[in-house]
Structure formats: C-alpha cells, structure tokens
C-alpha cells in the first residue's frame, strides 16, 4: 500500500496492481507484432498466389520476417516476468 | 487462486539436484533431460546410418529425409549451392537437437522442454554467434567484414551517424539475444500453458466437484498439445534457418543478394532487360 505517495482505493493491493501490470505488459507488446505478422503472412500468400514458381524463396523469406517480428512480442513476454 | 490439490507449484518448475549438489556441475532433472535429448539425437542418426544401404529402408529413410530436409531446404536454399553443404552438418545437428529437446515438452511422463531453460538456448545462440563472426572474418577479412557491416556501402556519409550505431546494436547485440530469447520464450510459454491447463484439470476433476469444468480444461489442453507440436517444429526450423541466414550474410557480405538464389528461377532475365538487349 506504500506506493510512491499514491493512495490506493479500498480493496486494491500492490499484488493486484502487479498482476495487472504483468497482463498489460504482454498484452500491449503483442499488439504491434500481431498486426505485423498478419501483414507478413498476407503479403506472402499474395506473392505465392501470383508467382507459385517462387514459393520456396518466398516461404523462406516469410519465416525470416515472421521470426524477426515475433521477437518483439517475445521480448514483451519475457519483460512481463521481470516487471 | 487456491488449489485444492496438495501441490507446491514451485516443485513443478524447479528441481533439486540429483548428484554433485553444491558444485557447478550439479545434475538435476533438466540436465538429465538434456543428456537424454542428445542421446536421442545421436541414436537417431546412428541407427539411421548404421546400414548405409543404397536403397534406404525403414528407419534409414526417416533419418535421410530429415538430414536432406535441412541440407536442401535450409543450407542450400539460404546459403547457396556451393557453400551450403559445408554447413549442413552443423545445421542438421542444431535442428535435431532443438527438435528433440522441444519434443520432450509433449512426451507424456516427461512434459518438460529442455530448451525452456535459458542455459541451452543461450549456449546454442552463443555458438552460432561465434561461428558466423568467425566465418565473416575468415571469408571477408577483418576490415572488410566489420567495415561492410557497420558502414554499408552506397549510403550518404551523413547517414552513418545514425546508421552505424543501429547496425552495431542490431547485428552484434540484438541478434544473438533474440535468437536465444525467441526459442526460450516460445517453449516456456508452451510449457506454462500446458502445465496450467492440466494442473487445473486434475484439480477440478479430483478434488472439487466440478467435472464439466475439469473435462473442459482437459480437452482444451489436449488440443493445445497438437498446437505445441506445430510450435516445436517451427521453432526448430526458425532457429536453424536464422543461423543459416546469419552465416550466409557473413559469407556474402551485408545486404548483398545471393546471385545463386535470384537466377535459380530465371527471374533475373526480366522482359524489360530482354527488350533492351534486343533493341541494342
């Protein structure tokens, strides 16, 4: 209850706020990568449909982009444990 | 939430040492499982290559398909047909060790992926970091490798003030970090997810009179096992592919397109180029 000069409402505890922070950190960190991964896969599907003969190269590049974007969400996941 | 089940949750995630307790070589369940994963990996290839028949049968087919997948789909596709096969052995070892380590997550009775402890992803990622830097320095020379990475050619000089710190940070610090954290976080998230579902399932069915709720979490948990199988394969694939990508970049130089990839499908010969040549 002794946060930096803050008075918490009745029934609200530090532990509760901490749990809320855990959820928020990961939830907010997942928004951007969620949109990004959607874009990566939609573009890759479009590319593969237009030029099926380059599907192999496209798939490799797709997983690369997916992995790089996913890292951001996972950093959020790890931070949620640290907070 | 208070569990009726008499269980200390910490005991699901942390184990006591079995042998050599108190020394840096203490062995607990994680270390035993890591050794088990390595033995599994060795046995897979030993049994697969023992006979060496020209027409492969049974287990040999499986091992050869696995190795060829890494060699053709990852090493040759990403690094190139000339340099690729040289690194296929390292990549195949990496792929199968991570795959078997991850697979322990959904093996009944074990239910623990060894890759969800930072030591193992960090070791593998550190190994990859040393290898790709070593290859870069060996193939391109110390000056050219670091010069090409930190000062990419074809950029106005003033941009280097912003670009060089970003490149330094992203190539030499973020890369190994995200490589390890990606594997760790995926496997840890999957492990926590399955653990929560099955502990609650056991708790609801056995100790609280709430059979429907227990069955529901049990069924969702069973579906999640199939989903985790997908995550397990994708993470092994991504770790190996990123390693191959970093090695390819160290060989061919930063941001340079590998010529063998683009000409493979005859795409470099665009209609515009052909028309220009015909006109000339």
ipTM of the complex: 0.72
pLDDT of residue B262: 43
Residue B116 pLDDT greater than 70, yes or no: yes
- Inter-chain CB proximity B78 and A77 less than 8 Å: no
The span from the CA of B201 to the CA of A20, in Å, is 25
Averaged pLDDT score across all residues of chain B: 83
DSSP state of B20: S
- Average confidence (pLDDT) over B65-69: 92
Count of A-B CB contacts under 8 Å: 41
- Average confidence (pLDDT) over B49-61: 81
Most confident of A1-5, A7-11, A31-35, B274-278: A31-35
CA distance A67 to chain B (A): 7
Contact B119, B33 (CB under 8 A): no
pLDDT of residue B16: 76
Query: From chain A, which residues contact B within 8 Å (Cβ)?
Result: 53-54, 56-57, 60, 63-64, 66-68, 70-71, 74-75, 77-78
Hey, of A30, A47, A57, which one would you mutate to test binding to chain B, going by the most B CBs within 10 A of its CB?
Answer: A57
pLDDT of residue B22: 75
The span from the CA of A47 to the CA of A66, in Å, is 15
pLDDT of residue B254: 60
Residue B5 pLDDT greater than 80, yes or no: no
Residue B280 pLDDT greater than 60, yes or no: no
- Inter-chain CB proximity A57 and B261 less than 8 Å: yes
| Confidence class for position B243, pLDDT limits 50, 70, 90 | very high
Cα B249–Cα B250–Cα B251 angle in degrees, nearest 5: 90
pLDDT digits (tens, 9 = 90+) for B256-276: 544 444 444 444 444 455 555
Most confident of B191-195, B236-240, B255-259: B236-240
Share of chain B above pLDDT 90, in %: 36
Non-local CB neighbours of B67 within 8 Å, separated by 6+ positions: B45, B48, B88, B92
pLDDT of residue A76: 85
CA distance A77 to chain B (A): 7
Q: Find the distance separating the first CA and the last CA of chain B, reported in whole Å.
A: 79
- Average confidence (pLDDT) over B24-28: 82
- Inter-chain CB proximity A56 and B77 less than 8 Å: yes
| Confidence class for position B122, pLDDT limits 50, 70, 90 | very high
- Average confidence (pLDDT) over B243-249: 91
Contact B85, B76 (CB under 8 A): yes
- Average confidence (pLDDT) over A24-52: 93
Residue B278 pLDDT greater than 70, yes or no: no
pLDDT of residue B247: 93
The span from the CA of B177 to the CA of A81, in Å, is 17
CA distance A48 to chain B (A): 14
- Inter-chain CB proximity A57 and B78 less than 8 Å: no
- Average confidence (pLDDT) over B88-95: 94
- Average confidence (pLDDT) over B9-23: 71
pLDDT of residue B268: 45
- Judging contacts by C-beta atoms under 8 Å, the chain A residues touching residue B242 are 64, 67
Residue B244 pLDDT greater than 90, yes or no: yes
The span from the CA of B244 to the CA of B255, in Å, is 15
pLDDT of residue B258: 44
pTM: 0.81
| Confidence class for position B224, pLDDT limits 50, 70, 90 | very high
pLDDT of residue B17: 78
Residue B192 pLDDT greater than 70, yes or no: yes
pLDDT of residue B60: 87
């Amino acid at each position: 209850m002794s946060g930096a000069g803050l008075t918490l409402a009745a029934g609200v505890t530090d532990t509760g706020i901490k749990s809320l922070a855990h959820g928020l950190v990961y939830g907010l960190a997942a928004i951007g990568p969620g949109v990004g991964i959607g874009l990566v896969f939609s573009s890759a599907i479009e590319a593969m449909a237009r030029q099926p003969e380059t599907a192999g190269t496209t798939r490799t590049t797709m997983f690369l982009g997916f992995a790089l974007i996913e890292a951001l969400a996972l950093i959020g996941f790890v931070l949620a444990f640290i907070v | 939430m208070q569990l009726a089940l008499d269980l200390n949750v910490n005991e699901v995630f942390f184990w006591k040492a079995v042998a050599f307790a108190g020394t840096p070589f203490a062995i607990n369940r994680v270390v035993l499982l890591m050794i088990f994963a390595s033995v599994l990996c060795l046995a897979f290839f030993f049994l697969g290559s023992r006979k060496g028949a020209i027409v492969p049968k049974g287990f040999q087919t499986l091992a050869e398909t696995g190795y060829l997948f890494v060699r053709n789909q990852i090493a040759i596709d990403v690094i190139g047909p000339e340099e690729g096969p040289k690194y296929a052995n390292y990549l195949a070892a990496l792929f199968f060790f991570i795959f078997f380590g991850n697979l322990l997550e959904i093996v009944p009775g074990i239910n623990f992926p060894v890759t969800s402890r930072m030591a193992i992803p960090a070791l593998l990622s550190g190994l990859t970091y040393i290898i790709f830097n070593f290859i870069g320095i060996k193939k391109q020379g110390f000056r050219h490798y670091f010069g090409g990475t930190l000062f990419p050619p074809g950029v106005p000089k003033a941009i280097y003030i912003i670009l060089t710190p970003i490149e330094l940070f992203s190539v030499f610090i973020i890369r190994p970090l995200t490589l390890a954290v990606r594997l760790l976080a995926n496997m840890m998230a999957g492990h926590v997810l399955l653990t929560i579902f099955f502990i609650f399932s056991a708790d609801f069915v056995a100790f609280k009179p709430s059979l429907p709720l227990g069955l529901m979490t049990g069924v969702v948990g069973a579906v999640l096992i199939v989903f985790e199988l997908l995550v397990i394969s994708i993470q092994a694939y991504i770790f190996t592919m990123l390693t191959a990508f970093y090695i390819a970049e160290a060989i061919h130089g930063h941001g340079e397109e590998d010529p063998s990839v683009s000409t493979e499908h005859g795409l470099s010969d665009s209609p515009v180029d052909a028309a220009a040549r015909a006109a000339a």
